[in-house]
Amino acid sequence: MAPPSDTPLLGRLALHYKLVTREQLERAARLQVEEGGTRRLGEILIAQGSLSERDLERLLAAQRELLAKQQTQTPAPGAAAASPAGASLDALLAHAVARGASDVHLHAGAPIQLRIDGALEPLDGAPPLSPAEAERLAAGALDAEQRAQLAAGGQVDLAYTLAGVGRFRGNVYRQQRGLDAVFRAIPAAPPTLDALGLPRTLARFANYHQGIVLFTGPAGCGKSATMAALVHIVNEERRDHIITIEDPIEVVHPSLRCLVNQRQVGRDTGSFARALRAALREDPDVLVIGELRDLETISLALTAAETGHLVFATLHTNNAVRTVNRLVGVFPPEQQSQIRTMVSESLRAVVSQRLLRRADGAGRVPALEVLVNTKAVANLIRESKTFQIRSVLQTGAAHGMTLLDTSLAEMVRTGTVAREEALRHAEEPQRFMGKAA
């Protein structure tokens, strides 16, 4: 979500770290103008209940460090772009955060690119990076062990922390022109449902004590952030042991009421499956799996859900029906009948989402498909009639269910997103055209 260029830096950082919503920030800014600037923006946000004093202290510290870095490393907003050879990776990432970018792309032979509101934009007219410049920038995030992994395998995943700015999930890889890297900005604090623009009704999925809740959608749709918001609710409200298994660790969850242990694949454990097998002997109440990648991981996740644990996990599927089919279809045919029964009993909900550009150009907004596992849904899964789940989604509003296309149509009706933008994400475009008319 990119804030307008005239938004104060404190406000842009608060949006980036998902501590406030755009509506809360705009309301505070309007009040500040009406009062003639007699109160600072942070004071108003606290008075409105949008921000805590602790959050403000962290934002002010981040603002001071970012300004100091920009003064010493990027004296002008376009300095990193005007001379990539003279900019450091830290200065580039700080500049990207100030611009509201979600991702930074470094590609040998191409200009530095920022992804803002879902679209890639060249960095202020930056010239193409030479292979040597791209390698210098990318290598700035690697330690000796990661350099060795890159040399041996041609790619490496990593988490990179920049003090006062934030954390980044990165991937560095070799391609035909040289070394490339992509860095995704991660909120410094766990996001909330309100800050993500998600309905508070999703919070009920944090109340389960057994079963599996899946967060699905294409890459970059915000499913990891949604899952992190639910984990944060559990952490604030319950007294449980939470174990997360991620590659790499994204949002850092400090232990609040819960005891939280976060393990990074490759650094703390050999694989998702290996960590899951160990976790079942570590007295967890809640297991958080960064991604269900293979049969073994899916099998262990279902077993954990069946044996009295609450499991949160993400999956790269486009809707609820495909999610259920993927869980079953990854197993050999002779096991699928048994797996359908396991899924029908253990599945609690599927939250599938997309991020769409707002019609007013002020960032992006999530559209959801939500499946809740009622008795009717469980029977359809068990009887291998998942193609009928779409009909249940259409009529399941009383249970908190909704189809993606229904969510899109409502956003068009209220003017939140343009019809053309919604149509790009619709599951059944022909039916959707009539629904959104």
Q: How far apart are the C-alpha atoms of 77 and 74, rounded to whole Å?
A: 7
Q: How far apart are the C-alpha atoms of 183 and 103, rounded to whole Å?
A: 5
Residue at token pair 């070799």: 174
Beta-ladder partners of 156: 172
Tokens at 307, concatenated: 């044996």
**CB-based burial of residue 122 (10 Å sphere; 0-12 exposed, 13-18 middle, 19+ buried)?**
middle
Task: Tell me whether strands 347-357 and 241-246 are parallel, antiparallel or unpaired.
Answer: unpaired
Residues 5-25 pLDDT 10s: 345 667 777 777 778 887 788
Specify the pLDDT at position 382.
97
Specify the pLDDT at position 58.
75
The dihedral over CA atoms of 203, 206, 207, 212, expressed in degrees to the nearest 10, equals: 130
Residues ≥6 apart with Cβ < 8 Å to 224: 215, 250, 251, 290, 314
Q: Could you tell me which residue, 361 or 217, shows the higher pLDDT?
A: 217
135 and 108 in contact (C-beta within 8 Å)? yes
Q: Tell me the mean pLDDT in the region 194-215.
A: 96
156 and 142 in contact (C-beta within 8 Å)? yes
Residue at token pair 């041996």: 152
Whether 53 shows a pLDDT value over 60: the answer reads yes
Beta-ladder partners of 115: 103, 120
What percentage of residues in the chain have a pLDDT greater than 90? 65
352 and 341 in contact (C-beta within 8 Å)? no
313 and 212 in contact (C-beta within 8 Å)? yes
DSSP state of 334: G
Specify the pLDDT at position 165.
81
The dihedral over CA atoms of 411, 415, 421, 422, expressed in degrees to the nearest 10, equals: 20
Whether 421 shows a pLDDT value over 80: the answer reads yes
343 and 324 in contact (C-beta within 8 Å)? yes
112 and 80 in contact (C-beta within 8 Å)? yes
Residue at token pair 């291998």: 384
Specify the pLDDT at position 1.
43
241 and 285 in contact (C-beta within 8 Å)? yes
Specify the pLDDT at position 52.
84
Cα–Cα nearest to 165, from 185, 141, 182, 140: 185
Cα–Cα nearest to 324, from 255, 270, 385, 367: 385
**CB-based burial of residue 403 (10 Å sphere; 0-12 exposed, 13-18 middle, 19+ buried)?**
buried
3-state helix, strand, coil in the chain (%, to 5): 45, 20, 35
Q: Classify the phi-psi angles of 308: left when phi > 0, otherwise alpha if psi is within -120 to 50, otherwise beta.
A: left
Residues 105-159 pLDDT 10s: 999 999 999 999 888 999 877 789 999 999 999 988 999 889 998 999 999 999 8
Mean pLDDT of the chain: 88
Residues 304-354 pLDDT 10s: 999 999 999 999 999 999 999 999 999 999 999 999 999 999 999 999 999
Calculate Rg over the CA atoms of the chain.
22
Residue 263 three-state SS: strand
Q: Could you tell me which residue, 25 or 255, shows the higher pLDDT?
A: 255
Whether 78 shows a pLDDT value over 60: the answer reads no
